[in-house]
Amino acid sequence: MNLILYIDSDPTYRRMISDLLTAQGFAVALAGDGLQGLIQARQLQPELILLDLNLPRIDGLELIKQLKAYSGTCRLPLIFMSRLPADWSTRLAEETGTQGFITKPFRPQDILQLVQQTIPA
Residue 98: pLDDT over 90: yes
Given pLDDT bands bounded at 50, 70 and 90, which one contains residue 1?
confident
CA-to-CA distance for 120 and 68, rounded, in angstroms?
22
Q: Which fold has domain 3-118?
A: Rossmann fold (3.40.50)
Burial of 23 (0-12, 13-18, 19+ CB in 10 A): exposed
Residues 6+ apart with CB under 8 A from 119: 2, 4, 47, 48, 77
Given pLDDT bands bounded at 50, 70 and 90, which one contains residue 105?
confident
* pTM of this structure: 0.94
